[in-house]
Amino acid sequence: MLAAVAALLALKSLAGEIPEAQADRVGMSEERLDRIKELAQGYTDSGKLAGVLTVVARDGHVVHVSSVGQRGVEDPRPLSEDALFRIFSMTKPITAVAAMVLYEEGRFQLGDPVSKFLPELAELDVLVDGERVPAKNGMTMQQLLTHTAGFSYGFNPEDPVDKLYNEVQPLAAKDLDEFVARLATLPLKYEPGTQWHYSVAVDVTGAVIERISGQPFGEFLQERLFDPLDMHDTFFQVPADKMDRFLPSHGWDAENNKLVPFDDGNFMDYTGGTMMESGGGGLVSTARDYLRFAEMMRAGGALDGARILSPKTVEFIATDHLPASISAGGEGERPTTNLLNRGGGFGLGFGLVRDPALTGVIGSPGEYSWGGAAGTIFWIDPVEEIVVVSMIQLMGSPWPLRAELKVLTNAAIVETK
């Protein structure tokens, strides 16, 4: 009995206003959920990760929180539940939801051309066999939200379009207006609507939000998402009084088989106020805040009396928007269960599971999620009413932690829906 009370008290600090419950009350096994902590302990004990923070909720109740390891390879202080993490591409679902807030207000339609809001992108070229030719069609808002607009990221040094991205550096712009201006000088990688390719499209979405709303993008997020959802630790710039909670970044030195510090100051500035508000990868957050965002989605668009979206809109977001003819391509954050053409699809800002068997990892049809470059991951399972958020800080993690976490979470379900 005392152990159960202690476990519930441990959950309170992270859960915020989301209620906590013993696992068996919502059809899960506490003993099996403990395997998540054991998995994380193995990674930290072996030096593969500095720390791992994971939270699991079902039916709107937090049933598991484990904070394992330390803040960093050179910082032996224990990893705290209020630690601030770079969430990189887990920013993307937040940006997509922000766009759909405007969609619900009738401020745009998915078939609208992006150039209606960003006229700088009205006459783009496509690079075809080394030649720039005018695009046959203008990209739509739906294509923007599904990574089928034709943009790229610059990840492939051998690709001619990516080489140009690395020369122009659109993401190094001081603000979203300059970002769009730089992007307008670059050719598209392919004709809009013909292929899925991970890209800066969500940063473009942030620029659209800014133009439609007439507000700075970060201000819009604060007013329409973060304040209503009480996400008080999610921001593009880390306040000075919270810097002591901001974790260091890491990389994996494969040659020497060890975890090492990673300096991301060359491409991200979280403290100086000079970084573009990147809707594709610029936010810092906590496990607690991201849980609140994900739980809002699981609950049909509202949390603690604050309605962000209609349940119908949430359902629409989590629907596969890719026609079967669109192929997958490009590098980037594509969590294990969301590999396109391997049982996955793509909604509006979220990766989807269409067929768990094809993904090779246990799950539910309709599950939606995304991850970040530093190894963070979340998913929402609308069948089993489960939300999971797991945070680490390892750039380009080589470990199968995401898939292992999914297996252990699903194995802890003892009563299915």
Is the pLDDT confidence value at 143 over 60?
Answer: yes
Q: What whole-number percentage of the chain has pLDDT above 70?
A: 91
As to burial, measured by CB atoms within 10 angstroms (0-12 exposed, 13-18 middle, 19+ buried), residue 46 is exposed
What angle in degrees, to the nearest 10, is found between the helix axes of 287-298 and 2-15? 90
Band of pLDDT at residue 324, cut at 50, 70 and 90: very low
How high is the pLDDT of residue 275? 79
Band of pLDDT at residue 339, cut at 50, 70 and 90: very low
Question: pLDDT tens for residues 24-54?
Answer: 999 999 999 999 999 999 999 999 999 999 9
As to burial, measured by CB atoms within 10 angstroms (0-12 exposed, 13-18 middle, 19+ buried), residue 109 is exposed
Is the pLDDT confidence value at 4 over 70?
Answer: no
Band of pLDDT at residue 328, cut at 50, 70 and 90: very low
What angle in degrees, to the nearest 10, is found between the helix axes of 401-411 and 30-45? 160
Give CA separation, 145 vs 110, 188, 197, 308, 317, in Å: 9, 16, 12, 18, 10
SS3 sequence, 263-311? Answer: CCCCCCCCCCCCCCCCCCCCCEECHHHHHHHHHHHHCCCEECCEECCCH
Is the pLDDT confidence value at 162 over 50?
Answer: yes
Question: pLDDT tens for residues 250-288?
Answer: 999 999 999 999 987 666 778 876 679 999 999 999 999
Domains in the chain: ranges and CATH: 2-84+234-411 (3.40.710.10), 95-218 (3.40.710.10)
Band of pLDDT at residue 327, cut at 50, 70 and 90: very low
Question: pLDDT tens for residues 180-238?
Answer: 999 999 999 999 999 999 999 999 999 999 999 999 999 999 999 999 999 999 999 99
Q: What whole-number percentage of the chain has pLDDT above 90?
A: 86
Is the pLDDT confidence value at 415 over 60?
Answer: yes
- Rounded to whole angstroms, the Cα distance separating 123 from 280 reads 23
- Cα separation of the two ends of the chain: 28
Instruction: With H, G, I as helix, E, B as strand and everything else as coil, classify residue 133.
Output: strand
How high is the pLDDT of residue 326? 66
How high is the pLDDT of residue 17? 78
**pTM for the model:** 0.93
What angle in degrees, to the nearest 10, is found between the helix axes of 201-213 and 91-104? 40
